[in-house]
C-alpha cells in the first residue's frame, strides 16, 4: 500500500497509460480522481471519473476548486493526457500544430498552475509529467509532438525549483515512455511496431503496466529524494 490515503489526480485517465496508473494507484491505497475529456467506467470504487478537457481553462479552475473542496489536498498529480497529429513538417497544418501544443503543453500548464501551488501550500506532493521517447530523440513526422514532449522537460525542471521554494517537499519529474501498447499507437502500421520492438534491448514493446509501475515509484515516498529527473521507461530503446 505505497499510496495509502493519498489523493491522486491522473489526467487522461479513461484509457491507456492513464487508466493503468489510476488502477494501480487505487490498488496501492490512493483515492484517485481520473480526469478525462471522454467517458469512463472504473471497476474499483476508489477511482472517481471527472470529465474535463484540460485545454478548457475555466473548467480546470472549476475542477481544482472541486478537488480542494472535496479532498482538501492533492498528493499526486500525473499529467498524462496527450494526443498526436502526425505529418511531415512540410505538410503539417496550423491546426495540427496548435491542437497538439494546446493539449500536450498548455493543458499541463492549465492543471499544474492550480494544483502545484496547492501542493506547495500543503508542504508536499509529487507531480509526474508524461513525456515521451520522442521528446528525447525527436521523430520523423512528429515535430509538433516532439516539441511538446521536450518542452515538458523544461517545464518540469522549472516547477521542481518553483514549487519547492520555502522548503516545500514538492517533487516534479518526467517519465518518458517508449512505444507502449495503447490506442495512441492505432495509427502506427504493424511492421513499424515490429521494427520498434526489435530496436529495444528487451525485444518487446511496453505494456501500460510497465509505465504505471514507474509512475507509482515516483509518486510514492520511495522516491522522496528524486526531483527534476527524467525517467526513461523504454526497454532500452534508442530512436
Residues in contact with ligand NAD by the rule CB under 6 A: 11-12, 14-18, 36-38, 52-55, 80-83, 103, 107, 130, 132, 177, 179-180, 182-185
CB nearer ligand NAD, residue 134 or residue 164: 134
**Minimum CB–partner distance for residue 221 and ligand NAD (Å):** 24
Q: Any idea what DSSP says for residue 44? A: S
Shortest distance, CB of residue 215 to ligand NAD, whole angstroms? 10
Q: If you ran DSSP here, which 8-state letter would residue 228 be given? A: S
Site of grid cell 513525456:
131
Strand order in the sheet with 31-36: 47-51, 31-36, 7-11, 76-79, 124-130, 169-177, 230-233
Catalytic residue (one of 42, 71, 137, 145) = 145
Closer residue to ligand NAD (CB): 100 or 223: 100
Taking the C-alpha atoms of residue 148 and residue 142, their distance in angstroms, rounded to an integer, is 10
Phi, psi of 61 (to 5 degrees): -65, -40
> Toward ligand NAD, which CB reaches closer, 23 or 36?
36
- What are phi and psi for residue 203, nearest 5 degrees? 60, 35
In whole angstroms, the minimum distance from the beta carbon of 169 to ligand NAD comes to 26
Within the chain, where are the H helices? 16-27, 57-71, 94-101, 107-122, 133-137, 143-162, 190-198, 208-219
Known active-site residue 145: yes
**Residue 161 CB, nearest distance to ligand NAD (Å)?**
23
By beta-carbon proximity to ligand NAD, the closer residue of 120 and 174 is 174
Q: Which is nearer to ligand NAD, 37 or 87 (CB)?
A: 37
Q: Supply φ then ψ for residue 175, to 5 degrees.
A: -115, 135
Distance in Å, CB of 147 to ligand NAD, minimum: 12
The whole-angstrom separation of Cα 186 and Cα 182 is: 7
Tell me which residues are annotated as active site.
145
Amino acid at each position: 500500500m505505497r499510496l495509502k490515503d493519498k489523493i491522486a489526480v491522473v489526467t487522461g485517465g479513461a484509457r491507456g497509460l492513464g487508466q493503468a496508473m489510476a488502477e494501480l494507484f487505487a490498488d496501492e491505497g490512493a483515492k484517485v480522481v481520473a480526469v478525462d475529456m471522454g467517458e469512463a467506467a472504473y471497476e474499483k470504487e476508489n477511482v472517481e471519473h471527472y470529465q474535463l478537457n484540460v485545454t478548457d481553462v475555466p473548467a480546470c479552475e472549476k475542477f481544482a476548486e472541486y478537488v480542494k473542496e472535496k479532498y482538501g489536498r492533492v498528493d499526486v498529480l500525473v499529467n498524462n493526457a496527450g494526443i498526436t497529429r502526425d505529418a511531415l513538417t512540410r505538410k503539417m497544418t496550423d491546426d495540427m500544430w496548435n491542437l497538439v501544443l494546446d493539449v500536450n503543453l498548455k493543458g499541463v500548464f492549465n492543471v499544474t498552475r492550480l494544483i502545484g501551488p496547492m501542493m506547495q501550500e500543503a508542504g508536499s506532493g509529487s507531480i509526474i509529467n508524461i513525456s515521451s521517447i520522442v521528446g528525447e530523440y525527436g521523430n520523423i513526422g512528429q515535430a509538433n509532438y516532439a516539441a511538446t514532449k521536450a518542452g515538458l522537460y523544461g517545464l518540469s525542471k522549472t516547477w521542481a525549483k518553483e514549487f519547492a521554494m520555502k522548503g516545500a517537499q514538492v517533487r516534479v519529474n518526467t517519465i518518458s515512455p517508449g512505444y507502449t501498447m495503447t490506442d495512441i499507437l492505432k495509427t502506427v502500421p504493424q511492421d513499424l511496431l515490429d521494427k520498434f520492438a526489435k530496436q529495444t534491448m528487451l525485444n518487446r514493446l511496453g505494456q501500460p503496466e510497465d509505465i504505471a509501475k514507474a509512475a507509482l515509484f515516483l509518486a510514492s515516498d520511495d522516491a522522496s529524494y528524486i526531483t527534476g529527473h527524467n525517467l526513461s521507461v523504454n526497454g532500452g530503446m534508442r530512436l
